[in-house]
Amino acid sequence: MMSALTSLHRLERHRLSSMLLLALVAHHLAARPARATVYDYTAGHADIGLAYDAGTGPRFFLQFGGDAEATGLTNEQLVAGQPGGVLGEWPLASFVTVVPQSVQISRPAGAEWDFLGTAAGDPVWIFSQQSQAGVPFLGFDTAKAGGGTGTYTLSNVTVRPTGGEVSLFQIGGFGTPDAVYWSTVEAGVDAVTVPASTHVHYAFGFTEPGYYELPLIGTGGGFPGQATGTLAFQVSPGAGPTSIVIDVPGGSLTQGQAGYPTIAAATSLTKTGAGTLVFDAANAYSGPTTVSGGTLQLANAAAVAATNVTVDTGATLAVSPGTTPRAPAVIIDGGTLSAATVAVNSSTGIASLAINAGTISGSPGVTITSGGQMSLAQDARVSVGIGGLAVDQAGGGGRLDLGAGQVVVAAGGITAAELRADIIAGRNGGAWNGVAGITSSTAAAAGGNRAVGYVVAGDGSARVSFAAPGDTDLSGQVNILDLIGIDSAGMFGTGQAADWSQGDFNYDGVVNILDLIGIDSSGAYGTGNYFPASPTSVSGSVAAVPEPAGLGAVTFVAAAALASRRRFVQKSVSYPGISSV
Same-domain status, 223 and 74: yes
Same-domain status, 217 and 269: no
At residue 406, the 3 state secondary structure works out as: strand
Q: Based on the structure, what is the number of domains in the chain?
A: 3
The domain boundary, picked from 235, 253, 283, lies at 235
Residue 2 lies in a domain: no
Residue type at position 391:
V
| Cα–Cα distance for residue pair 342/321, rounded to 1 Å | 11
Residue 499 lies in a domain: yes
CB atoms within 10 A of CB 322: 9
Q: Which of 357, 302, 349 is nearest to 331 (CA)?
A: 357
Q: Which of 347, 343, 331 is nearest to 368 (CA)?
A: 343
CB burial string 202-235: b at 16+ within 10 A, e below = bbbbbbbbbbbbbebbbbbeebeeebebebbbbb
What residue numbers bound the domain in which 305 lies? 241-338
Same-domain status, 487 and 563: yes
Q: Which of 89, 86, 220 is nearest to 147 (CA)?
A: 220
pLDDT of residue 238: 66
Same-domain status, 210 and 250: no
pLDDT of residue 382: 96
Residue 65 lies in a domain: yes
The domain boundary, picked from 188, 215, 235, lies at 235
| Cα–Cα distance for residue pair 106/121, rounded to 1 Å | 5
pLDDT of residue 239: 60
Rounded (5°) CA angle 307-312-314 = 135
Distances (CA, A) of 310 to 178, 281, 289, 297, 340: 49, 19, 6, 13, 19
Residue 45 lies in a domain: yes
The answer to whether residues 258 and 248 touch, using CB atoms and an 8 Å cutoff, is yes
pLDDT of residue 302: 96
| Cα–Cα distance for residue pair 495/484, rounded to 1 Å | 19
| Cα–Cα distance for residue pair 459/465, rounded to 1 Å | 18
Same-domain status, 56 and 156: yes
pLDDT of residue 536: 54
pLDDT of residue 128: 80
Same-domain status, 81 and 147: yes
Same-domain status, 133 and 182: yes
Same-domain status, 172 and 273: no
The domain boundary, picked from 197, 219, 235, lies at 235
The answer to whether residues 412 and 451 touch, using CB atoms and an 8 Å cutoff, is no
Q: Cis ω on the peptide bond leading into residue 195 (within 30° of 0)?
A: no
Catalogue the E-assigned strands of 259-411.
266-272, 276-279, 289-291, 295-298, 308-312, 316-319, 329-338, 341-344, 352-361, 365-368, 373-376, 383-386, 388-391, 399-401, 406-409
Residue 144 lies in a domain: yes
Same-domain status, 229 and 329: no
Same-domain status, 230 and 245: no
Residues in the chain, pLDDT under 70: 1-36, 162, 238-241, 395, 536-581
Residue 137 lies in a domain: yes
Same-domain status, 229 and 305: no
| pTM score, whole prediction | 0.63
Same-domain status, 208 and 225: yes
User: Which residues touch 447 (CB under 8 Å, ≥6 apart)?
Assistant: none
Residue 395 lies in a domain: no
Residue 494 lies in a domain: yes
CB atoms within 10 A of CB 176: 11
Kind and range of the H or E element at 42? strand 39-53
